[in-house]
Structure formats: structure tokens, C-alpha cells
């Protein structure tokens, strides 16, 4: 990673992971793939602010607020789980029995049987029923499945969880994993996809569609794609621009701003250029948004040996990979949420891109590997 440069926006979000969200320097350096020396330099740049007592109290207050918000989020998730589990419990008595067994140390068995509307005699008969070897093995696998599911923030379905289990040396097939998940009410998050076009009118400069839907490339830094989406907050919109390398589907550049100015796409592209430092010409494909047809965009591309490419007018499939990433972001992390502040949205999106999507999330196009793992394995 030596010699790699990072934008001020990236550094700011990395520092906030430590000063506001409680991560250690070692943890942040490992998760972001940045040296600890660089992290300490970025921290030192904001050290004068931290020496201010008032600033310190403010940071502590922010940490406490974040902790309470995290607890509230967990409580809301637990409530939602119980709501969804009610219908599931109604059709599977054995699940009710298992629930009573797991919580018998916390609640009275008599009370739980009454609430769940089952006979105590049925529960005790199940309790003394000998378990088969397969049932015992399923319980063991269930713990591993839950760990994989929780580590993916609830987005992994049975196929990706099966890959996780195989990586741990387990030999169970996807059908068995699916059955265990269904029997225990574990399901991948399913969200929505909503596309919105940006800008209006035909741009004065429309470069050819050099990419022409050639999304499968054999070498890194051959073709990049870029696009913009929007995120709802109570303070107004937060706009996100990203740049992805088609080779690994890795997000190599991003920028978040409260307005849809041309700077947002230039900053995202600058991050990509600084991180990748391509030696050969690279196709940079976008839609026909006004930000991508500006004179500054054209000059930037020319200066950094980038070849602009544009989708056909009104054809989102010409930029399907970028659209797919935004769909994953909104299904797996945002989940139709409206953030209270833009800062909260920024922190959550940064976490998704840099600490989950690039480094951990398994990608079907990459044979179940994460973008980082795929690039490392192909070197």
C-alpha cells in the first residue's frame, strides 16, 4: 500500500471511526488496509481539537449517543424479529418448545406455555424425547449459520452462508443450510430498488459508448463505471457518487455531499485515480448526467489518461454494474431508512463500502469471494 494517496474525505471518515465510534487504530488500519503510521498521522492532524476540554466533552457525549442509538437499534430489531416470528411460531410447535427451553432460565415455563398457547405436557414430552444424531448436528450447524448471518448484517442467504461454512471446513450442502434457516426463521434481507435519473436535457458532449456492456474484464484498471445515488436524511438529501472497477467490482472511489454539484463526481474519480494509479488508458463509463458532461470532467479525464464512455440515453442497463451496487447498498444497509442527520448517513455508508462491501461481502460474480480477496488471489 506504500505510496498510495487518500482524499481528505476518506481520511476524515477513517479518523471518525476512532474518535467517535470507538474503534482502535489497529482495527481501523486492518479493516481499511491502511498502515497504522498513516492513521496516527491523520489523528495527529486533528489532535489540537481533541485537547480542548469542551471538544473532549462533546466527543464523549457523541460516543454515549451512538452507544444508546446502537442499543435502541438492537431493541427495535429484536422487536421486529418477535413480530415476524409470531406467525412462524404458530405453525411450528417444535420451535416453540425450543424457545421455551432456551429461555427457561429467564421466564417461567408455565407462563411461556400460556403465552405461546401450548400444553405443558406437550413441552415436557418433547423435552424428554431423545434427539437424533442429525438433530444434534443441525443444532451445531445452526450456531455457525447464525454467526455467518450476523457477520453479514443479515444480508446473506443460504448460498453465501454455505460458502462460509465450506470455508470453515464443513461439508453440508446448500439444501440442508436452507432447511435449517427456514426452520429457524432466518432469512436474508430483501429490500427495494428504485432508480432515479439525474440532470435533464441532452448533454452538449456525448462520448461514444466504448464500454458497450462489456462488464466482464480480465485485468484490473481496464474499465471503471461510475454513477450517483441519493440517500434520505431528515436534514435533506445526501448524494453519493462511486467509481467501481469492473474487474473485481471493488468500489475504488467515492464521495458524499449535500448537493448535486459537479465536484462530487470529480472527488470520487480523484480518489479512484489516487488509489489505483493506472499506467494505461482506462475507460470510465457513466450515464448522461450533467455532471459527467461538464468541461471539468472532460479535462480531468484527459489529464489522467481516462477515456470517457456514456450510456445510451435513458438506458440504465448500459450501466448495470453501478446500478447493482446501489441496489445492494439500499437493500443490505439502508433498508428504506431515513437517517436523522447527514453525518449519520455518511458514517453508515462509509462503513458499508470500506469495512464490509470491499473487504468482506461475498460477490456472486467473483465466485463467492469479496472484491479485496479476489484481487489478492489474482495477483
**Does the global pTM surpass 0.85?**
no
Rounded to the nearest angstrom, the gap between the alpha carbon of residue 310 and the centroid of all alpha carbons in its chain is: 27
Q: Which residues contact 181 (CB under 8 A, 6 or more apart)?
A: 145, 149, 158, 161, 187
304 in helix, strand or coil? Answer: coil
> How far is Cα 206 from Cα 228, in angstroms, rounded to an integer?
18
Q: Is 31 within 8 Å of 359 (Cβ atoms)?
A: yes
pLDDT (0 to 100) of residue 53: 60
pLDDT (0 to 100) of residue 164: 87
pLDDT (0 to 100) of residue 205: 67
> How far is Cα 308 from Cα 313, in angstroms, rounded to an integer?
15
The residue behind cell 450501466 is: 319
pLDDT by residue for the chain (379 residues), tens only, comes to: 445 678 888 888 888 888 888 888 888 888 888 888 888 888 888 765 555 566 666 666 766 776 677 677 767 665 665 555 565 555 567 777 878 888 888 888 888 888 777 888 888 887 887 677 788 888 889 988 988 888 887 778 888 899 888 888 888 889 999 999 988 888 887 654 444 444 445 555 688 899 988 999 999 999 999 999 999 888 889 999 999 999 999 999 999 999 888 889 999 999 999 999 998 999 999 998 888 888 899 999 999 999 999 988 877 788 999 999 999 998 888 877 888 889 999 999 999 999 999 999 999 889 899 999 999 998 7
- Per-residue HEC secondary structure of 219-269 comes to CCCCEEEEEEEEECECCCCEEEEEEEECCCCEEEEEEEECCCCCHHHHHHH
Q: Which of 220, 51, 4 has its CA nearest to residue 19?
A: 51
Q: Is 184 within 8 Å of 135 (Cβ atoms)?
A: no
C-alpha cell at 129: 424425547
Q: Which residues contact 115 (CB under 8 A, 6 or more apart)?
A: none
pLDDT (0 to 100) of residue 89: 56
Taking the alpha carbons at both ends of the chain, their separation in whole angstroms is 14
pLDDT (0 to 100) of residue 63: 64
> How far is Cα 268 from Cα 261, in angstroms, rounded to an integer?
12
190 in helix, strand or coil? Answer: coil
Identify the structural domains of the chain with CATH numbers, from first to last: 223-377 (3.30.420.10)
pLDDT (0 to 100) of residue 197: 46
pLDDT (0 to 100) of residue 378: 86
Amino acid at each position: 500500500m506504500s505510496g498510495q494517496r487518500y482524499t481528505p474525505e476518506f481520511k476524515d471518515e477513517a479518523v471518525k471511526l476512532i474518535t467517535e465510534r470507538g474503534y482502535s487504530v489497529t482495527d481501523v488500519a486492518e479493516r481499511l488496509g491502511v498502515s497504522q503510521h498513516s492513521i496516527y498521522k491523520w489523528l495527529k492532524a486533528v489532535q489540537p481539537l481533541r485537547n480542548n476540554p469542551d471538544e473532549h466533552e462533546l466527543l464523549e457525549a457523541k460516543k454515549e449517543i451512538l452507544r444508546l442509538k446502537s442499543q435502541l437499534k438492537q431493541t427495535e430489531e429484536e422487536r421486529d424479529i418477535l413480530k415476524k416470528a409470531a406467525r412462524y411460531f404458530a405453525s411450528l410447535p417444535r420451535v416453540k418448545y425450543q424457545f421455551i427451553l432456551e429461555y427457561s432460565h429467564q421466564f417461567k415455563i408455565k407462563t411461556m406455555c400460556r403465552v405461546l398457547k401450548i400444553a405443558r405436557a406437550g413441552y415436557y414430552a418433547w423435552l424428554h424425547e431423545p434427539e437424533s444424531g442429525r438433530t444434534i448436528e443441525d443444532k451445531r450447524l445452526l450456531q455457525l449459520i447464525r454467526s455467518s448471518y450476523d457477520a453479514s448484517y443479515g444480508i446473506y442467504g443460504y448460498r453465501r452462508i454455505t460458502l462460509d461454512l465450506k470455508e470453515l471446513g464443513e461439508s453440508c450442502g446448500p439444501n440442508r443450510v436452507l432447511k435449517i434457516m427456514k426452520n429457524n426463521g432466518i432469512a436474508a434481507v430483501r429490500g427495494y430498488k428504485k432508480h432515479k435519473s439525474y440532470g435533464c436535457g441532452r448533454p452538449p458532449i456525448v462520448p461514444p459508448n466504448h464500454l458497450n456492456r462489456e462488464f466482464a474484464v480480465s485485468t484490473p484498471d481496464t474499465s471503471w463505471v461510475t454513477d450517483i445515488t441519493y440517500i434520505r436524511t431528515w436534514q435533506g438529501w445526501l448524494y453519493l457518487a462511486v467509481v467501481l472497477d469492473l474487474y473485481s467490482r471493488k468500489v475504488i472511489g467515492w464521495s458524499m455531499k449535500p448537493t448535486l454539484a459537479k465536484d462530487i463526481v470529480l472527488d470520487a474519480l480523484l480518489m479512484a485515480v489516487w488509489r489505483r494509479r493506472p499506467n494505461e488508458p482506462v475507460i470510465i463509463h457513466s450515464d448522461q448526467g450533467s455532471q459527467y458532461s461538464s468541461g471539468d470532467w472532460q479535462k480531468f479525464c484527459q489529464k489522467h489518461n481516462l477515456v470517457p464512455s456514456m450510456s445510451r440515453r435513458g438506458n440504465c442497463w448500459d450501466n448495470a454494474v453501478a446500478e447493482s451496487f446501489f441496489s445492494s447498498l439500499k437493500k443490505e444497509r439502508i433498508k428504506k431508512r431515513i437517517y436523522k442527520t447527514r453525518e449519520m448517513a455518511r458514517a453508515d455508508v462509509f462503513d458499508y463500502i470500506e469495512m464490509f462491501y470491499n473487504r468482506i461481502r461475498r460477490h456472486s460474480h467473483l465466485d463467492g469471494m469479496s472484491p479485496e480477496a479476489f484481487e489478492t488471489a489474482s495477483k
